Homo-oligomer: A and B are copies of this chain.
């Protein structure tokens, strides 16, 4: 599929200049089929999605008949006061309908509800929260929303929260400390019910401050040893041990550890577990070759694969243990495409056992964690903390489990 315009134009910059009809030349018969509109061809783009270009962006004014009436309605949304007036009751009664419907008589309630419906009343949550003092929202600040592991955790969080009548906002720090800090500020200012977080680094001073000031915090997928908040984790050291023990058992001797950056707790613990396994087996620590990555992503995994495959066979480790499945999948993909056989030339163990691990080019041996359970448990701890007056902070630790597949065993 050949490209025509190298990159898409910024649509906002073409506002109003777009023609409604199909005045432009159609880029390709098929492309013109369903979107009869000009294809805005711009000069070489600003570096967006460098590897691919998406031709023929089409912009047209949204349909509809009456182009005149717009930009209104909005303005003064009907408030509780207007509803009260319309229903012929007092403010207090409207508030009761909203918050304690059982105390207001059926007939009054009906009147009020009718008024709310006809005025399109939408409760102003800011005002509610300001006065009532409590939020019905809980946030999960994820380390990487692009990693299915964390979205599975998020699912568990949401299940538990919904069961308790709360809603969940997801935030993505994307392994960026600034973003994490920004979100924490934001959430604190929002006075959310509580914050679940998989933090970027071990330093939890910001988190301590948060909970000291009254926002419950639960650390997810990390065991934090202070008494300022709960944490729910999986024993990553053990996980690393399991992975390496498995590889040693298969006869591997020189093993790569692929992971980074080293500020991330999971990366450190899994590496420490790996070292411990080596030590227990009486092997020298140099037998663990560390390949540090800049992030826990597929792309970084590919980079590591490149480095690994570039080594002369004699110096190349015969197995690699990756700090997560994203890295492992990238590594796998790159190594295979560079001609290495997996597991014959290189055995690979991932971590997390995300859904895609089993569907990989070579099904991936991985260390499985109870993803949803992790999230659910964390949310439950948070709920307990904010409702139970004699809540005690806890550290819950789950045990990981090795799932052996073709990428190490090869028998399939």
Residues of A whose CB lies within 8 Å of any CB of B are 1, 3, 8, 10-12, 15-16, 18, 27, 30-31, 33-35, 37, 48-49, 52, 54-67, 70-71, 73-75, 77, 120, 122-130, 137, 139, 145-146, 148, 151-152, 154-155, 158, 162, 167-172, 174, 179, 182-183, 186, 188-191, 209, 212-214, 224-232, 235, 237-238, 241-242, 245, 276, 298, 329-330, 332-333, 355-356, 358-363, 368, 370, 372-373, 376-377, 380-381, 383-384, 388-399, 401-402
Contacts and interface: CB of A to CB of B under 8 A. Distances in A.
Given A12-B381, A18-B394, A377-B8, A167 B154 contact: no
Contacts of A122: 188-189, 213
Contacts of A391: 15
Given A124-B191, A395-B62, A12 B401 contact: no
Contact of A127 (B54, B130, B235): B130
A187 to B, nearest CB: 9
Given A8-B398, A49-B370, A30 B238 contact: yes
A364 to B, nearest CB: 10
B73 A212 contact: yes
A411 to B, nearest CB: 14
Given A11-B232, A15-B388, A35-B397, 9 more contacts: A1-B242, A8-B377, A59-B397, A62-B227, A63-B225, A123-B189, A125-B190, A170-B171, A361-B362
B10 A380 contact: yes
A122 B188 CA distance: 7
A8 B373 contact: yes
A31 to B, nearest CB: 5
Nearest to A4: B399
Contact of A227 (B55, B63, B179): B63
Nearest to A377: B11
Nearest to A354: B356
A58 B396 contact: yes
A59 B370 CA distance: 15
14 contacts: A11-B381, A16-B392, A30-B241, A54-B399, A61-B395, A62-B393, A64-B226, A126-B127, A127-B130, A130-B130, A146-B151, A155-B172, A169-B171, A356-B360
A214 to B, nearest CB: 3
Contacts of A171: 167-170
Nearest to A336: B359
Contact of A390 (B16, B123, B151): B16
A328 to B, nearest CB: 10
Contacts of A376: 48
